[in-house]
Amino acid sequence: MNLQLEPAQAELLREVLDYAYRELRYEVADTDNSQYKTELRARERALGEILDLVGGPLPDR
């Protein structure tokens, strides 16, 4: 898939992905179910890879 985004759209996408990535990391940290944690970590890796494509995580605020 190839997206052609205006700079404002790309930045908004980066912000949304960054938010989702951080929330997913909190969820991974908060779960004690090892099978669910494994599934969440796979999603976390995939989301991190997508986030890297749009400029990586935002700096901590």
* In the chain, domain spans: 7-53
Q: Check residue 43 and give its pLDDT.
A: 95
Q: How many C-beta neighbours within 10 Å does residue 17 have?
A: 21
Q: Which residue has the tokens 């990535």?
A: 21
Q: Check residue 60 and give its pLDDT.
A: 78
Please give the average pLDDT of every successive group of 10 residues along the chain, which has 61 residues. 88 94 93 95 94 87 64
- Rounded CA Rg of the chain: 13
The answer to whether 18 and 57 are in contact (CB under 8 A) is: yes
Q: What is the 3-state secondary structure (H, E, C) of the chain?
A: CCCCCCHHHHHHHHHHHHHHHHHHHHHHHHCCCHHHHHHHHHHHHHHHHHHHHCCCCCCCC
Q: Check residue 1 and give its pLDDT.
A: 72
